Amino acid sequence: MAHTFNVRRINSPQQINPIVIWRIIRWAVIAVLVVYGVMTSLYTIETNSAGVVKRFGKYNRITEPGIHLKLPFGIEKAIGVPVKSVQKEEFGFRTVKAGVDSQYLGIDEIQSGRYSREALVNLIRESGESRSSSGNLQSFAKELLQREYIMLTGDLNIVDVEWIVQYKIKNPRQYLFNVRNARQTIRDCSQAVMRQLVGNGSVDEAITIGRTEYEKSGEKMLQQLLDNYETGIHIVTVKMQSSNPPQRVRPAFNEVNKALQQKEQRINEAMKQYNEVVPKTRGQAQRVIEAAKGYAAERVNEAQGDVNKFEKILTEYQKAPTITRQRLYLETMGKVLPQIPEKWIIEQGGADGGILMKLDLDNVTPSK
């Protein structure tokens, strides 16, 4: 019987042990799970982002840029949020190509045909709307832009406003979990704020004098509105790119603005001449007044000095009238005689009185 058993064993094919197969499959599964676990437990966050880790779909923690570990097999998922990047939303136009030679898509480009079909498709796709029928793509894109920039002012005028909003993500958790569509929320809030500002003012404020104030107020109001919704968004700036009247009335409005600018120019020129002439005239008048005051003070002082001098002479005269009269006579003649060109000596009294001689004092040679 042993001989028969050996023959059958030699002639029958070799059988595979199920235990060995099971061990191979088990180790293969373990290896695959290990590899998959390692691959799903490592994640990288870029330098301008922050990582938001969710565990079973619920917020767990925030990680910094770099390589990190998380629970594998989909237990935890990491989402990179660009918290350091400044993002931008445009209203009334779109930037097709940014750079030195930037290209924009607006109403003027659509009407003049300076656009590409891809730009129109991207505009419609970003708006989140779809055409109900196979209508004109150009007309639909134009309608989307008009919804954004056509506004009604407080004085019942229509104005076209194009602006941009730059923002950053300050709270990744609120940005991901508190709003369903953060980008659309920013656009809706921005349009609500800008329409409120324009609707409360006049057309002149929206186009000329109020643009800076609208930018400051828009930034503040938009930030407050987004904070109320807890969106985790920080508004960097609100910038009005252009604000003009509608296309049909724009030439007439430009003429009015030109006239107003000429008016302001004439006023400025008049004010310049006023500032040059009036202070100069006032200075001259003040100089004349000061000169008159000085002359009056001088005359008063001279008169006062003459009075004091006369009083002193009177006192001396009362002491010796004859001597004083003689001295006054001599002092007076000393001032008068040098001014007389010809001098004659006349003898007074007696029969022999008359002209004695002429004194030629002008030609007298001084003695050495």
Q: Where residue 228 sits, what CATH number does that domain have? A: 3.30.479.30
Query: Is 155 part of a structural domain of the chain?
Result: yes
Query: Is 54 part of a structural domain of the chain?
Result: yes
**In sequence order, which residues have a C-beta less than 8 Å from that of residue 79 and are 6 or more positions away?**
51, 52, 54, 176
Do 178 and 241 reside in the same domain of the chain? yes
pLDDT at 361: 55
pLDDT at 338: 82
Domain that holds residue 120: 87-248
Final residue belonging to a domain, choices 248, 277, 311:
248
pLDDT at 59: 93
- Distance from chain centroid for Cα 284: 42
Do 74 and 91 reside in the same domain of the chain? no
Final residue belonging to a domain, choices 215, 248, 281:
248
**Domain total in the chain:** 2
pLDDT at 137: 84
Residue with tokens 């030439």: 251
Low-confidence ranges of the chain (pLDDT < 70): 1-16, 129-135, 343-368
Sequence letter at residue 96: V
Tell me which residue of 305, 298, 335 sits closest to 313, measured CA to CA: 305
**CA separation for the pair 242, 193 (Å, rounded):** 17
Token pair listed for 256: 């009015």
What b-and-e string marks burial along 243-270, b requiring 16 or more CB atoms within 10 Å of the CB?
bbbeeeeeeebeeeeeeeeeeeeeeeee
Sequence letter at residue 86: V
Final residue belonging to a domain, choices 60, 81, 102:
81
